[in-house]
Amino acid sequence: MRILKSSFAVVERRAEHAVKFFYSHLFWHNPEVRRLFPSSPEDMERQRDRLFAALTHVVAHLEDATLVPYLRDLGRDHRKFLTGPEHYAAVGSSLLAALAETSGEAWTPEVEKAWAEAYQVIADAMTAGAAESEDPPWWDAEIVRHLRYGEDIGVLTLRPHQPLPHRAGQYVSVSSDRVPATWRTYSIGNAPRPDHTLDLHVSRIERGRLSTALVREVQPGELLRLGAPGGQMTLRRDGRPVSLIAAGTGWAPVLALLEELVADPPDQDVRLFVTAREQAYLYDRPLIDAYAEACRWLSVTYLTPAPGRHRTQATERLATALCNRGLWPDQDVYLSGPAAFIEETAALLEALGARPDRLFHDALPAAVPAHARPLGFGEWFLNRPSPHWHNPSARDPYGR
């Protein structure tokens, strides 16, 4: 483990070179693979970011119990690309070549052996996840309703042609013929329904071709493709009090969890914190208020900036609210929102006494873990400085 992490620290400083070399090597030696990837330069740049982000996530969680479930979900989801053993072999060869090229003199036989063994573990876990699934590689789903909230938020209701089994709190990857060979991950915004329909909450990303199409262009009657559901942010039902914390369209999986709790009310109280960069982004407030009115066990706190104040005040108000509420060691806490929001909020909750093993959120490889050292080039490349976590472009946890 130490060899991999120290080796990756060298690669991280030349992240952009590493990912560009990887894709050049992969496409040169395996030209038939190129058709599986986006054609536009902008989407390909995002793909490069996600690749290195996923690699960063794996290295950071080598000894974490969540890594294998994450890899199995990833392998199950990758069936939508019709991925076979030959593709894993090709990716492994190109990955080792890119690491060797980027590492220079730090690439020793010992380091090469460690990376080869680590990649085999990754490939085996993903292959096992794909093999154990009896579901189709993807589901065709018709858009039956399209609601717009302002210019940048859309809620799509989809009816899959065959039932898509999922649990409240999970997510799916989504593709549209309007943006071929491009997939993005979005949380399912409802608990399972008898009619099997699904809601997706989409925040438009600046220069994001698929999110723009989903928010502004698609119409009822069009078909989308959905990958296999994944994610571990599902209710534990262990009798502990529950706190739900959402920011932006991170509200979607929290809404799904809330629907499950309403259908089967808990014995303990539930605290809901909903954070938005301005009042207009509390697009489901009437629904939340109705739940609060009907459910005595539910308390709701809204966090937005005061009129005329900067949107970062919402974060400050959330921190104050969390500090004032207390009882965090007793809570099961579910977090959803942009990666930076989750990282910062989880750190605050742990400082307030919340148990790390009771903080539930999905793995977010788009976020680079915090380090004691200064921001390295690899981290800058992955997470180019943006004004604040409120920026909706941050809401893409698996590239979600």
Asked if residues 11 and 96 have their Cβ atoms less than 8 Å apart, the reply is no
Check whether domain 242-394 has CATH 3.40.50.80, yes or no: yes
What is the radius of gyration, based on Cα positions, of the chain?
Answer: 21
State CA 45 to chain mean position distance: 18
pLDDT digits (tens, 9 = 90+) for 344-384: 999 999 999 999 999 999 865 443 333 333 334 344 334 43
Q: Are strands 242-247 and 332-336 parallel, antiparallel or unpaired?
A: parallel
Query: Integer distance in angstroms from the first to the last C-alpha of the chain?
Result: 28
Closest-CA residue to 341 (of 184, 228, 203, 192)? 203
Positions of the chain with pLDDT under 70: 43, 46, 311, 363-400
The SS3 of residue 332 is: strand
Give the C-alpha separation, 370 to 379, whole Å: 9
Check whether domain 139-226 has CATH 3.30.1180.20, yes or no: no
The pLDDT, as a whole number, for residue 363 is: 63
Give the C-alpha separation, 363 to 342, whole Å: 10
At residue 227, φ and ψ (nearest 5 deg) are -80, 180
Complete DSSP assignment for 36-83: GS--SHHHHHHHHHHHHHHHHHHHHTTT-TTHHHHHHHHHHHGGGGT-
Burial grade of 259 (CB within 10 A; 0-12, 13-18, 19 or more): middle
CA atoms within 13 A on the CB side of 355: 9
pLDDT digits (tens, 9 = 90+) for 299-330: 999 998 887 777 678 888 999 999 998 899 99
Give the C-alpha separation, 106 to 269, whole Å: 54
Domain boundaries, the chain: 2-131, 139-226, 242-394
The single-letter DSSP state of residue 242 is: E
Assigned token pair, 57: 């996530």
CATH topology of domain 2-131: Globin-like (1.10.490)
